[in-house]
Amino acid sequence: MGSSDLYLNNPMTHRDRRLGESESDWVRSFSCEDMSILIVCRGPIRQEALDTFAEMGITKTGILLSEKDSIVYPRALAPELRRLDPSRVHAVADYTGATKEDRNARIAQIIQIARENGYEYVFAGYGFMAEDEEFVRSIEEAGLGFVGPGSRTVQAAGFKDEAKRTAERVDVSVTPGINDATGRLLLRKYGDRAALKSVASKNGLEVEELGDQSISMDIVADAVLNASYRAGIDLYTIDELAEQIQLEVESILETHPGSRIRLKAIGGGGGKGQRIVSLADQAPPMVREILGEVKTLGVGDNKNIIVELNIETTRHNEIQLLGNGEWCVSLGGRDCSLQMHEQKLLEVSITQEALGEAVDRERQAGNDGHATAIGEDLTILRRMEEEAERFGQEVELDSASTFECIVDGARHYFMEVNTRIQVEHRVSELCYSLRFRNPNDSEDYFDVTSVVEAMALLAKHKVRLPRPERIRRDPAAVEARLNATDQSLSPHAGGEIMFWSDPIEGEIRDDQGICFKNPDTGLFMRYKLAGAYDSNIALLVTTGDDRRASYEQLREVLRQTVLRGPDLQTNLQFHYGLVSWFLGNSVDAKPTTRFVVPYLTLVGELLDEANHIDVDYAYQGLCRRYLEAATGDPKAAKSTSEVAQLKATLLGRPLRRLLREPHLLSAWLSVHRKDFEVTNGRVTWHRNPLSLLTDTYLLLHMEATLDAPAAHRIWEQDQFVLDEGEAFYSAVTARVGDLPWPELDALLRGEAPATGFEAEEWRSVREAHFGFQLGTELLRLLPLLAEKVGFYDLRVNADLTITIPERLLDADHQTVMKKILVPPPVNRGDEIVSISGGMYYAQEAPGMPRFIAEGQHFDIGDPLYVVEVMKMFNKVYAPFSGTIDEILVEGDGLIIKKGQPLFKISPDEVAVVESPEEVRKRMRQRTLVFLAAINLEQN
Amino acid sequence: MPDKDIVTPTLRNPLGVGSDDSSAAPADAGQKADAGGPYEASLREGERLRERPHKAAGLAQIGRQHAKNRMTVWERIDMLRDPGTEPTILYQNWGPNLDGASIVTAIVQIQKRSVALYGHDFSVRAGSMDATNGTKLANLIRLAGAQGLPLIGMNDSAGAFVPAGIGGLDGYAEAFTALRKISGVVPSIMCMFGYNAGGGSYLPRQGSFMIQPSDTFFGLTGPGVVKTVLGEDVTADELGGPGVHGQSGVSDLTVKDEVGALRTAQRLLSYLPGNNHEFGPYQETSDPIDRPTGEIDTLLRKAFNSPTGFNTPIDVSIILQQICDHGDYFELQPQRARNTINAFGRLGGHVVGFVCNNSAVSSGQIDVDAAFKNSRFIRFCNLYNIPVIFMEDTTGFLPGRDQESRGIVQAGRAMLDSIIDLRTPRLLLIIRNAFGGAYAAFNCYAVGADHVMALPTTRVAVMGPAGKEFVYKKELRAMRNSARARIEEAIESGASKSDAERDAAAWMKEQEAAFNARYEKELMNPKEALSLGSISEIVMPTNVRAALAKNLNFFLSHYTPEPLQAVQREFH
C-alpha cells in the first residue's frame, strides 16, 4: 500500500547515504560502511539511528534492550525488535542505573557488550548518558569511538560555570548580573591588598592567597571571605551588604532601564530566599528578608546574594551546531518556547533566510509593525548564530551540540550548551544540509542531510572533513511532540494503541517503529504506552515554503491522524487546537514559555461553558420556532418538520463533537474567527453557514471523501444535502453575481424576484434557500460561546507579542480549569475495602517500610497494601487520591475478607451527587439563555 | 391564504440540471424516466430491484439509524470487506416488499478469504425477524456449513416481527437450528449492534465468539419488561451492556464502538480456520523459531530473587509474548477471570491456542470463572484443529463456600473433561507451581498431553507447604510433644507458666519454619516428577520458544486436520 510505503521510504528522511558507492575517490574515502555501532538509548532516535546507519551502508548495528522495554509490561515490547536480528539485541537491566554505583556498573557493562560483540562505536542519542562526561570518557578510554561530542567538549561546553566563563571570554551574551557581591563589598571597603592583609591579620585569618601577587584581587577577596566563614566571624555588616546590593542593582538598571532585578541568596533554593525588585532602593529591606528566610542572619554565615537581571518574558531559542574540533557551523535555530513544565511541545525552525523573507513579505503587505518585530528576531538570530559558532570553535566542539539561549524582547542571553543531539534536530536538518567539498576540486562534493549521519561521519573521519557549507533545504520546518497525556497535558500511562492511520505525504513520523506492522501478517500490532520512561510517543515533523505553510501541513497531519485503542489518551487534539490557534492569529507571534498553561486554561473555560449546552434541546427549540412561524400553512408546516428532521444529524453531529472536545472547538474558533462577527450578543455570518458546515466537517476529519468507516465520515444523506446546497448557491451566484453573504442572504429571503427570475422560479429559489439555511442557526452557538468565555481575549498584538488576559494567569483558576478538562476520579465512600480475601500485609516484605500511615496522603496508583492469596503476594493500588484517616486492620498476616473495610479515608475529590434529571434541567436552562440570543434566519 | 409570507422549505436545488424531476433524493435516483421499448423498461425495473434493498428504508429511517450513531448494514459491510471487492448478495429481494426483508445475507471477501455474512437492516422494520427472513438467514448459515466458510453475524434486530405472528417465531427457530447444526463445522463471529432481545440474543450466542460495543444491549428482554414483571428499575446498560456480558463471559470481547467491533472481528478471523477440516491460517514468519528468550530468564530472575522470592506473582502474558512470533497475540475474554489467559498466537507461523495460569491475578488460582473460560476455549481449539500450549503456574483450584455454592466442582470438571477430550497437538510447560488436583487436571501426560516440559523453577507437589503435615507426620508429632515437655521442664526449673509457654511457642514456630524450608527444598521441585516420567524434560528459560516450536512442529507434522469424530459425552 502506498501510504505504508511512506512510513518506510519517506523521501523527506530516507535516502541512500552510502558514500562508498560514489564515483569520486575523494567522496568514497569518507565511507562509513565498515563502522560497527552499538546504540545505547531508546525512543524515536533509536529507530532513526538504525535507519540512518543502514542507509549509510553500515551493516553492523546493535541495540541495548532494557527490562522496561521487554519484561515489565505486556505489549510494550520494543517495536524495533520486529526488524532486528536477535543477535543484534543485547539485554541490560536499564540504560542508566538508579545510583552512582549502578551507573558505573552499567558503563562497564556497556563497554563489555561492545567489546564482546565487536562494536567499535557507541551512539547514545539524547539519552541520559549522552552528555555524561564520565560515560563518554570511559568509552574513549576503553578504546571505543563515541558518536557524539567527546569528553573534552562535554567538559568545556557542558559544565555550566566553565561554559559561562568561556562565553564571557569569547563575547557571548550572558545574563547580566553578579554572583560575588560580598567579594566586591570587601574590595570596596578595603580597597587594596595591603588593607585586606591588615584586616585579615587583625581578625586572625590565615589566607595564603594574600601573599601571592599573581592571584587576582576578586579571588583573594573570596579567599578572605571563606576564611572568615570558617572562623565564624563577619567582615561586613548586613547594612553594608544591603548598600552594596543596592549599588549593584543600580548599576544593572543603568544598562537595562525598565527591567526588574532578581536577588537570590546563595544558600537559597526551591524559590526560597528570592526577591524581585524594580528600583534600587527597594533592595536593602529585601536583603534582610532574604537572609532571614534562608536563616543566614547569624555571625559568620555566608550572606552572599546573587544579583541578576530578571528575565520577564522568556522565549527559548537554540542553535544547532556541528563541528569537528577545528571548524564549527551553525544549522540555524529553533524556537522551543511552546512548552509546559519544561517539556517542549512544539519546536519551530528559525533561519535567517526565512525571517528575512518574512520581513520583506510583511513590509510589502504594509505591516510595518510585524516587519519590525520579525526583523528584531532576525537580528537576534544572526547574533546567536555568530556567538554559537564562536563558542563552538572555542571549545573545539567535535560533533553535534545545541547552544541554548533565552530571548527577552530584543535581547538574548546564553544559557547552556547541550553536548548531544536533541529530540528536535530534524527541524534543523530539514532546513539546511551540509555540503562537504573537495578542497582540490570544487565540483567534487557530497551532501549530508541528517544530523545523525553527520555525527557518524564526524566520529569516523573527524578532522579529515573539510569545513562544510550549509545549503538551504526547506525554508521552514516544525515539530510536534505527540505525547501520552490527557486533555490537560498530564501524563497518562497505560493506554494501548490498536490503530494508527498511515502517514500522509509530507509527514515525518518518528515513532520508534510503533507503526511498523507485524512483518508476517501486515496487521498493526497493539502497543502499550506503559509510561516507563517519559510520555513521548512520537515526533511529527512537517516542512513548508514558509512558516505558515509548515504549520498548515502540520495541521493537516494532525487532522488526518487517527489513533485508537483502549484507555488511550494523547495530546494530538491539543496540538491541533494550538497549531490552529497560531494559524488563526499569527504564525509569527512570539509566545513565551508561559503561554501554554494560560492557553490550556482558556480551553478549559470553553469546555466549562460547553458542558452546559444541550445541542439536541437547542435544535428542538429552533425547530419549534420554525413550526410556530409556519402555523396556518399545513403544507409549509409539514415540509418544515420534514426538513428539520432530515437535517438533525447534519447539524447536530459536528456541533456535539465540538462542544464535547474543547481542543477541536478551539481549533474551529481560531480558524473561523473571520467568518463571523458578534455585536451586542448577535451573530452575523460573513459567509454562507452551509459552506461553513462543509468546512467544519473537514476540520473534524469527517469529510465525505475519506477512506474510512462510514461511522467516521459525514453520513451519506447529510453529504447529499451539502452537495445539493453547494450546487444551488453556485447556480444562484452565477445568476445574481458574487454578493457578500449578508446581501445574498437578504436577497434570497426577499419576496421580490431578483433580475431575470420569474415569480414562480423565485418562489422555488426562496424555498430552497430557506430549506438549506433552516437550522444552521445552531452554528451560532459557537461564536456565542466564544464571546461568553472571552476566547479572543488571548490575542496577538501588533508587535507580535501575545496578550494573556490576567484571569488566565491566576493559579487557582488554572487548577479549576484543569479539573474541568480532566475531572479527577471521585469516590463516594469514606472507606477503602479489600479487593479480595486473603492475608493482609502493610508492606512489600518484612523489614521494608509500610506503604501508608495514618494521616498520610496517597495518590491514585500508589500501593496501599499487599494481600497474600494462596502464597502469592498481590500488591493493591489506590483507585483514587485521598488521605488515610484511620487504618482499620492492625498487624501483618491478618486474615481479611473480600469487601472488608481496611482504611477510613478522605478522598481528594468528593462526588457531588446530581441526578440525571437535575443535570438535564440545568443544561436546558443554560441552553435557553444561548437560544434567546439566536434569531431565526427568517424574515 | 394566510396573510404572512410563509415559505415552504425544500432541500432540492431548483436550478440544477434535471431539476424538474421532483425527486432529487438519492433514494429514487434509479427512477429516471428514460424513453425506450419494453426491453429498456425491464432493464430499468431490474436496476430498480437491485437498488431496492439499499434504498427501501428511505432517508428518514436511515437518518434515524445514524442519529443513534450507528451505521446501516450496507455501511458495515462496506467496512468489513476487502477494499475493491464486491460482496455477493444472496436472495437480494426476498420478501413480499422486495426489500430484502430487513436482513442482508452475503458472501464477502475478508483478508482474501470468502466469508459468509449476515446483517440485520435496522432501517427496515427495525431489523425484525419474520418467517421469510428466518429462512433466508438459515439458508446462509447452511451454505456456510456446506461450503466450509466462516460466518460473521452483524446482529441489530428488535426481535420477532409481531405482525408476522408465529411466522416470526418459526423464522427464529429455523435459524437457531441451522446455526446449531454448523456449530463445530465452521467458526462464527457475532457482532452485537444495537438492541437485541430474546431470540436476537440466543441466536448469536450459539456462535463461536461474541463482540459487543459500548452503548448496546442484548439479553432475554429489555428493562421495560423487567420493570413490568419484576418491578426492578434497571437501565439497559446495567441489564445487558458490555460491562455485564464482558464480566459474565457471554460477550467474549467488548469494544468501544461499531468500528472497533468490526476491526476486532477481522483481527479474530485472522486466527480462525475456515472450517473443521482445515488448520488456522498459516503465516510464514520472519521471527526465528529458535530466537533465544532471554527476557523470560530476566523476568524470572527478577521475580524470584525479589524479597518475596518464589511467592512473587508474574504476569504470564509477558512469557506468552516472548514465545509468539514477533510478540503478537490476541487475547480472548480479557475483561474477566484474568487468573487464566486464553489467547491465540502464532508459533513458527502456526496458529496456537494458549491456556495459561496467570499468577498476577488472584494468584492464578482456578476458580469457577477461570475453569469455564478455559474449558470453552479448549473445546473450540479441539473442534477446529488448533494446537494448544498450556502454561502452568497455579497453586490449585480455589476452595471455599463461595466457590462451592457457585459449583466449582462442575466448573473444574468441565475444564478437566475438555482437556481430556482434546485431540489436537497439546504441550505443557510448567513455569512454577503445579500442585495437587490442578497438576492432575492441567494437561499432564496422564490426561493426554503430547509433551510435558518444565522450567527449572518448577515445583510439582501434591500440596503446597501445608503438605509437610503429611510428609513429616511423625517428626512433627515428636517435635510438638517435645514442646510440651519443654514447658514442663521450664516450669520445674522455676519459670512462670506463661513464660514457659511463650518460650515453647517461639521454639515451635522456629521448628515449623524449618520443616517448611525442608519441605520446599525436598519436595517442591521438578525432581520427583522427572524421576516418574511425569515431566519429559527441563527447558531453560532462554530456550522456551525454540523448545516449544520444535515439539509443536513435530506433533503437527503427524496430525491431520479433520472433523472431530467422537462419542458425545454426557457433559460439556
Give the nearest partner residue to A871 out of B76, B360, B464, using CB atoms: B464
Mutate to test the interface with B, among A520, A872, A874, A938 (most CBs of B within 10 A): A872
Asked if B63 and A715 come within 8 Å (Cβ–Cβ), the reply is yes
Confidence of residue A192 (pLDDT cuts 50, 70, 90): confident
CA A381 to CA A351: how far, in whole Å? 8
Confidence of residue B96 (pLDDT cuts 50, 70, 90): confident
pLDDT value, residue A871: 65
Q: CA of B365, closest CA in chain A: separation in Å? A: 8
Asked if B8 and A639 come within 8 Å (Cβ–Cβ), the reply is yes
Which residues of chain B make contact with A630, given a CB cutoff of 8 A? 6
Confidence of residue A2 (pLDDT cuts 50, 70, 90): very low
pLDDT value, residue B30: 45
CA A436 to CA A702: how far, in whole Å? 47
In the predicted structure, residue A911 carries a pLDDT above the cut 80: no
Task: Say which residues have a Cβ less than 8 Å from residue A910's Cβ, sequence separation at least 6.
Answer: A826, A827, A828
Which residues of chain A make contact with B284, given a CB cutoff of 8 A? 520
Residue A46 DSSP label = H
Task: Say which residues have a Cβ less than 8 Å from residue B139's Cβ, sequence separation at least 6.
Answer: B90, B91, B105, B178
Which three cell numbers, joined as nine digits, stand for B107? 458472501
Answer whether A210 touches B (CB < 8 Å). Answer: no
Asked if A645 and B299 come within 8 Å (Cβ–Cβ), the reply is no
Give the nearest partner residue to A870 out of B63, B286, B395, using CB atoms: B395
Residue in chain A closest to B350 (alpha carbons) equals: A520
Give the nearest partner residue to A766 out of B7, B286, B464, using CB atoms: B7
CA B355 to CA B377: how far, in whole Å? 8
Answer whether B359's CB lies under 8 Å from B313's CB: yes
CA B81 to CA A845: how far, in whole Å? 55
pLDDT value, residue A892: 73
Which residues of chain A make contact with B287, given a CB cutoff of 8 A? 519-520
Choice between A857 and B388, residue whose per-residue pLDDT is larger:
B388
Give the nearest partner residue to A711 out of B257, B283, B398, using CB atoms: B257
CA A685 to CA A784: how far, in whole Å? 12
Nearest CA to B111 out of B5, B266, B219 is that of: B266
In the predicted structure, residue B28 carries a pLDDT above the cut 60: no
Model pLDDT for residues A598-627, shown as the tens digit of each residue: 999 999 999 999 999 999 999 999 999 999
Confidence of residue A937 (pLDDT cuts 50, 70, 90): low
Q: CA of A901, closest CA in chain B: separation in Å? A: 19
Cα angle A763, A769, A774 (rounded to 5 degrees) comes to: 125
Which three cell numbers, joined as nine digits, stand for A701? 476529519
CA A97 to CA A105: how far, in whole Å? 8
CA A378 to CA A669: how far, in whole Å? 31
Asked if A710 and B78 come within 8 Å (Cβ–Cβ), the reply is yes
Lowest mean per-residue pLDDT among A226-240, A479-493, A896-910? A896-910
Q: CA of B114, closest CA in chain A: separation in Å? A: 18
Asked if A872 and B26 come within 8 Å (Cβ–Cβ), the reply is no
Which residues of chain B make contact with A711, given a CB cutoff of 8 A? 69-71, 75, 79, 257-259
Average pLDDT for chain B: 91
CA B426 to CA B552: how far, in whole Å? 8
In the predicted structure, residue B19 carries a pLDDT above the cut 80: no
Which residues of chain B make contact with A709, given a CB cutoff of 8 A? 71, 75, 78-79, 258-259, 262
The DSSP annotation for A175-205 comes to --EES-HHHHHHHHHH-SHHHHHHHHHHTT-
Answer whether A759 touches B (CB < 8 Å). Answer: no
Answer whether A71 touches B (CB < 8 Å). Answer: yes
Q: CA of B168, closest CA in chain A: separation in Å? A: 31
Which three cell numbers, joined as nine digits, stand for B433? 507451581
Mutate to test the interface with A, among B300, B328, B366 (most CBs of A within 10 A): B328
Asked if B71 and A649 come within 8 Å (Cβ–Cβ), the reply is no
Residue window 655-714, chain A: list those with CB within 8 Å of chain B. Answer: 707, 709-712
CA A227 to CA B13: how far, in whole Å? 94
Asked if B321 and A77 come within 8 Å (Cβ–Cβ), the reply is yes
Q: Kindly tell me the sign of the dihedral angle through the C-alpha atoms of A862, A864, A870, A871.
A: positive
Nearest CA to A669 out of A683, A657, A684, A658 is that of: A658
Q: Can you name the residues that pair with A435 across neighbouring β-strands? A: A447, A469
Asked if A728 and B75 come within 8 Å (Cβ–Cβ), the reply is no
**Furthest-apart CA atoms within chain A: distance in Å:** 113
Q: CA of A870, closest CA in chain B: separation in Å? A: 7
pLDDT value, residue B166: 87
H/E segment holding residue B42: helix B38-55
Answer whether A766 touches B (CB < 8 Å). Answer: yes
Task: Say which residues have a Cβ less than 8 Å from residue A18's Cβ, sequence separation at least 6.
Answer: A31, A33, A55, A56, A57
Confidence of residue A273 (pLDDT cuts 50, 70, 90): confident
Segment B59-66 shows an average pLDDT of 90
Model pLDDT for residues A8-24, shown as the tens digit of each residue: 999 999 999 999 999 99
Residue in chain B closest to A642 (alpha carbons) equals: B60
Q: CA of A869, closest CA in chain B: separation in Å? A: 6
Q: Residue type at A203?
A: N
Which three cell numbers, joined as nine digits, stand for B82? 476487502
Asked if A82 and B5 come within 8 Å (Cβ–Cβ), the reply is no
Which three cell numbers, joined as nine digits, stand for A602? 482558556
Each residue of B502-527: b (16+ CB within 10 Å) or e? eebeeebeebeeebeeebbeebbbbe
Give the nearest partner residue to A844 out of B284, B307, B362, using CB atoms: B307
Answer whether B490's CB lies under 8 Å from B504's CB: yes
In the predicted structure, residue B56 carries a pLDDT above the cut 70: yes
Mutate to test the interface with B, among A70, A71, A728, A767 (most CBs of B within 10 A): A71
Mutate to test the interface with A, among B13, B70, B81, B366 (most CBs of A within 10 A): B13
The DSSP annotation for A645-714 comes to HHTHHHHHHHHHHHHH-HHHHHHHHHHTGGGEEEETTEEEESS-HHHHHHHHHHHTT--TT-SS-GGGS-
Give the nearest partner residue to A765 out of B5, B14, B270, using CB atoms: B14
Give the nearest partner residue to B267 out of A65, A523, A635, using CB atoms: A523
The interface predicted TM-score (ipTM) is: 0.90
Among A532-541, B96-105, B203-212, the range with the most confident prediction by mean pLDDT is B203-212
Answer whether A220's CB lies under 8 Å from A230's CB: no
pLDDT value, residue B31: 47
Asked if A519 and B16 come within 8 Å (Cβ–Cβ), the reply is no
Residue in chain A closest to B316 (alpha carbons) equals: A74
Burial of residue B235, with CB atoms counted within 10 A of its CB: 0-12 exposed, 13-18 middle, 19 or more buried? exposed
Answer whether A87 touches B (CB < 8 Å). Answer: no
Nearest CA to A72 out of B325, B287, B356, B303 is that of: B303
Asked if B24 and A639 come within 8 Å (Cβ–Cβ), the reply is no
Which residues of chain A make contact with B291, given a CB cutoff of 8 A? 86
Confidence of residue A693 (pLDDT cuts 50, 70, 90): very high
Asked if B72 and A774 come within 8 Å (Cβ–Cβ), the reply is no
In the predicted structure, residue A682 carries a pLDDT above the cut 70: yes
Share of chain A above pLDDT 90, in %: 63
Asked if A710 and B75 come within 8 Å (Cβ–Cβ), the reply is yes
Average pLDDT for chain A: 91
In the predicted structure, residue A1 carries a pLDDT above the cut 50: no
Q: CA of A130, closest CA in chain B: separation in Å? A: 26
- Give Cα B154 distance to the centre of its chain: 17
Confidence of residue A771 (pLDDT cuts 50, 70, 90): very high
Which three cell numbers, joined as nine digits, stand for A245? 546590593
Asked if A768 and B267 come within 8 Å (Cβ–Cβ), the reply is no
pLDDT value, residue A345: 96
Which three cell numbers, joined as nine digits, stand for A659? 462542544
Q: How many CB pairs under 8 A join A and B?
A: 223
Confidence of residue A157 (pLDDT cuts 50, 70, 90): confident
Q: Provide the 3-class DSSP secondary structure of residue A323.
A: strand
Lowest mean per-residue pLDDT among A650-654, A896-900, B125-129, B173-177? A896-900
Which residues of chain A make contact with B256, given a CB cutoff of 8 A? 564, 566
Share of chain A above pLDDT 70, in %: 97
Residue in chain B closest to A723 (alpha carbons) equals: B13
Answer whether A640 touches B (CB < 8 Å). Answer: yes
pLDDT value, residue A118: 96
Asked if A519 and B326 come within 8 Å (Cβ–Cβ), the reply is yes
Q: Residue type at A607?
A: L
List Cβ<8 Å contacts ≥24 apart for B46-55: B49/B92, B49/B93, B49/B98, B50/B92, B52/B92, B52/B93, B52/B98, B52/B99, B52/B100, B53/B89, B53/B92, B53/B93, B53/B99, B53/B100, B53/B104, B53/B121, B55/B26, B55/B27, B55/B28, B55/B30
In the predicted structure, residue A107 carries a pLDDT above the cut 50: yes
H/E segment holding residue B166: helix B166-182
Model pLDDT for residues B471-511, shown as the tens digit of each residue: 888 998 998 888 888 888 888 888 888 888 888 888 888 88
Model pLDDT for residues A388-439, shown as the tens digit of each residue: 999 999 999 999 999 999 998 888 999 889 999 999 999 999 999 999 999 9
- Percentage helix, strand, coil for chain A under 3-state DSSP, each rounded to 5: 45, 20, 35
Give the nearest partner residue to B10 out of A711, A731, A768, using CB atoms: A768
